[in-house]
Each structure stands twice: as structure tokens, then as C-alpha cells.
């Protein structure tokens, strides 16, 4: 099977079984999504979704959050991983949104990564979810699933994985493919004991073929 055939199979499978895949983070506007994605670093979406309602009620936009102290933000997010750093990031991010972007979330990766707490992965998530730009955010799920299935070859870093995925996914599917791979990794192709017996991608998966061959 060629890599092109592997990608085509995967796209057709998910178009049939999960055509409307989307982020599991809860938000009402670009600013709220940006806050949620910053908080989601090394933290579950479930935990973030439990935390953000109180944040958004008190600080619904960049203007209000820019006036918040780091201490106040910390109190609201202390149940999340790395709350000290993330409270500082939220405070700095909201201030820079006001100063440099008129309080609006910019929609280019290069502009977004100038904000505190926003790396390439976060910027890719925001631009792909809000604007459906063909940007591929690579988290641990995307990295693992892509390698296991055989979508990537010898990709040692998230950036290398991103480049290979962008190269092979048609642009119009990239923003959805991000969610396909994340959700597949979260619920089926899990890290320790992947649920290969219920996976619809067995026939194209290098990991499954190798395990099956050795069993």
C-alpha cells in the first residue's frame, strides 16, 4: 500500500464515520477558545471545560482579562496543570491583545505566537478551528497515531510530523484531520493498550499489521 492510498483510505473512513469532528473544548468566541487552548497544555479537555465557565463569567473578553491580576487568575485555574505559568500567560496574552491587536484574536500563526503562552501548536489549533485554515496542530495523540498508522515516516518531532501531514493531506481536509487524529488517539488508538479490535483502520495500520504478524 502506498502512502497516498493510506491517506485516501483514512480520509474516506472518517468522512463516513466522523464527518463533523470538532474540538471538545467549550467556547463561544475566538478569545475563549484561545484561553481554553492555552489552559489545555498538558491537561485534559474535560478538566479545562470544568474550569473555564467561571473564568469566562468573570473575564469574558480580552478587555476584562487584561485588568485581572495574576493572583486572581491563579485562583480560578489552580485545579489545572501548571497554574502559575498559565495565569501569567493569560494575563500577558490579554494585555498584548489589547495593545497590539485591538482586543481581537489575530488569525495568523505568526501573529498568534507573539502572545505569551501561545506556541505553534496553540496557534495552529486556533486558526484551524476558528478559520478552518489548513494548519495541523500536533499534540501527543496526533504524533502517536500518525506514526502508528504509517501516515508519517521517521518523524522524530511534532514539527516533522506536522510537515509530513500537511504534505499529504489535501488542504481542504487538514483542519478536520487534526480532530480525526486527536479523537482517534483519545478514544481508540490510546497510548498503552490501543483498541485495535474495534478500530476501523486495521487494514492500513502498520502498528496493527506488525502486532498481528507477531501474534
Binding site, annotated residues:
189, 196, 199, 205
Catalytic residue among 28, 45, 86, 121: 121
Helix, strand, or coil (residue 70): helix
Catalytic residue among 88, 95, 139, 167: 139
Q: Mind giving me the DSSP string for 125-165?
A: HHHHHHH--S-----HHHHHHHHHHTSSSS--SHHHHHHHH
Whole-number Cα distances in Å, 111 to 13, 27, 116, 181: 35, 21, 11, 26
41 within 8 A of 82, measured Cβ to Cβ: yes
Active site residue 20: no
Within 8 A by CB and 6+ apart from 110, the residues are none
Active site residue 72: no
The binding site for [4Fe-4S] cluster comprises 189, 196, 199, 205
Q: What is the dihedral of CA 157, 162, 165, 166, to 10 degrees?
A: -150
The set of catalytic residues is 121, 139
Amino acid at each position: 500500500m502506498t502512502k497516498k492510498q493510506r491517506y485516501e483510505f483514512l480520509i474516506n473512513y472518517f468522512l463516513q464515520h466522523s464527518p463533523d469532528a470538532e474540538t471538545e473544548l467549550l467556547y463561544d468566541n475566538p478569545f475563549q477558545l484561545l484561553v481554553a487552548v492555552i489552559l489545555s497544555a498538558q491537561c485534559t479537555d474535560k478538566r479545562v471545560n470544568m474550569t473555564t465557565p467561571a473564568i469566562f463569567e468573570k473575564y469574558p473578553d480580552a478587555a476584562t482579562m487584561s485588568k485581572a491580576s495574576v493572583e486572581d487568575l491563579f485562583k480560578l485555574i489552580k485545579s489545572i496543570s501548571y497554574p502559575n505559568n498559565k495565569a501569567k500567560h493569560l494575563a500577558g496574552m490579554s494585555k498584548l491583545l489589547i495593545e497590539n491587536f485591538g482586543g481581537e484574536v489575530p488569525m495568523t500563526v505568526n501573529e498568534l505566537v507573539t502572545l505569551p503562552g501561545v506556541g505553534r501548536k496553540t496557534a495552529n489549533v486556533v486558526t484551524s478551528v476558528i478559520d478552518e485554515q489548513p494548519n495541523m496542530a500536533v499534540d501527543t495523540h496526533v504524533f502517536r497515531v500518525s506514526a502508528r498508522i504509517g501516515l508519517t515516516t521517521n518523524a522524530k518531532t511534532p514539527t516533522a510530523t506536522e510537515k509530513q501531514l500537511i504534505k499529504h493531506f489535501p488542504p481542504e481536509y487538514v483542519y478536520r484531520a487534526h480532530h480525526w487524529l486527536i479523537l482517534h488517539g483519545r478514544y481508540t488508538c490510546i497510548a498503552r493498550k490501543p483498541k485495535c479490535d474495534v478500530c476501523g483502520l486495521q487494514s492500513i495500520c502498520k502498528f496493527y499489521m506488525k502486532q498481528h504478524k507477531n501474534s
